[in-house]
Amino acid sequence: MLATFAATGDERGVRRVIAADPGSVNEPGVDGTTPLCAAALWGYTQIVTTLLEAMAAPDLRNESGPRWTALHAASLQEHGKVCMLLLNAKANPVEKDAEGVSPCDYASCSEAVWPIFSSRGCARVPKPNLVEKGVIRKASSALETELQAAAEGGVGQRGIIPEYSRPGSSYVVTREHPPRPGSSAYRQGSRPGSQRKVTRPIDILEEEDEKVKSVSQGLSSLGI
C-alpha cells in the first residue's frame, strides 16, 4: 500500500501507513517498486522527504525490471529537487542497475540535473560511452522532426539532447524513445537501454516506415 500511495502522490496515505507500520518504508509494492523509487519517479518531493525522514534506504533497489534505485528514476525523469534530496541522503550516483547503467549516466544527458551531480564531484559520461551502454541512441529523421515540433509547441517531454546533437544527427534518451518494434535497433525480448547487442548494425531509417509514438512515463513503460 505504501508504494501505491507514494506513486499516486497521496501524502496523507503515506504518513498514515508509516505511522501504523514504520518498517514499511522499505517494502516494495506488488510490482516490485520501492516506495522511494515510486515517489522519485513522479517527482513527489514532499513524499520523498517524508520517506527519507522515516529511514527509507536511499540505495534500495527495486525487485523488478532493471532493478533501479530511486536516484535512477529521478535522474532519468530530470527531477532536480528529488535528485538533490537523494544525493544529500548519500544515494550513490554511480550505482549500476542490472543493465550496467547508473544515475550518473542518465544525469549526463540532462542539462537540467547535471549541475547537481557535478557539484557532488561526479564526472560527466562521454557520448560514446552512453551510446555503447544504450542510454542514448541516434534518432531517425521522422522522430527528430516530431520532437522538434513538440518542443516548439511547448510539449513538456524530454526530446532531442542538444549537447549531443546537430541537425540531421540527433540523439535521444533510449528509455524515453525506444526503437520501433521491427526495426534493427530493436531486438525482441530486450529492454530499451539494455547492453545486449543487436545482431546487425542499427539502421535508423527503418523507423521511417511508421509514425514514432512517444512513450508514456509510467512505472510499467519504464520497466520498473
Choose the final residue of a domain: 78, 103, 125: 125
**In whole angstroms, how far apart are CA 148 and each of 144, 154, 156, 160, 182?**
6, 10, 12, 8, 24
Query: Does 35 map to a domain?
Result: yes
Cα separation of 117 and 139, whole Å? Answer: 26
Per-residue pLDDT tens over the stretch 116-139: 999 999 999 999 999 999 999 998
Is the separation of the CB atoms in 3 and 35 below 8 Å? Answer: yes
Q: How many domains does the chain have?
A: 2
Query: Does 215 map to a domain?
Result: no
Are 101 and 169 members of one domain? Answer: no
For residue 201, name the pLDDT band (cuts at 50, 70, 90).
very low
- The answer on pLDDT for 66 being more than 60 is yes
Is the separation of the CB atoms in 31 and 221 below 8 Å? Answer: no
Helix%, strand%, coil% for the chain, nearest 5 = 40, 5, 55
Per-residue pLDDT tens over the stretch 153-184: 665 567 888 888 887 788 999 998 888 765 54
**Of 124, 133, 138, nearest in space to 98 by CA:** 133
Are 161 and 115 members of one domain? Answer: no
Are 9 and 119 members of one domain? Answer: yes
Query: Does 180 map to a domain?
Result: yes
Are 120 and 139 members of one domain? Answer: no
What percent of the chain clears pLDDT 70, i.e. is strictly above it?
A: 78
Query: Does 218 map to a domain?
Result: no
* Residue range(s) defining the domain that contains residue 70: 2-125
Choose the final residue of a domain: 98, 125, 152: 125
Query: Does 214 map to a domain?
Result: no
pTM: 0.81
Choose the final residue of a domain: 102, 125, 148: 125
Set of cell numbers at residue 10? 497521496
Per-residue pLDDT tens over the stretch 8-30: 999 999 999 999 999 999 999 99
Assign residue 67 the CATH number of its domain: 1.25.40.20
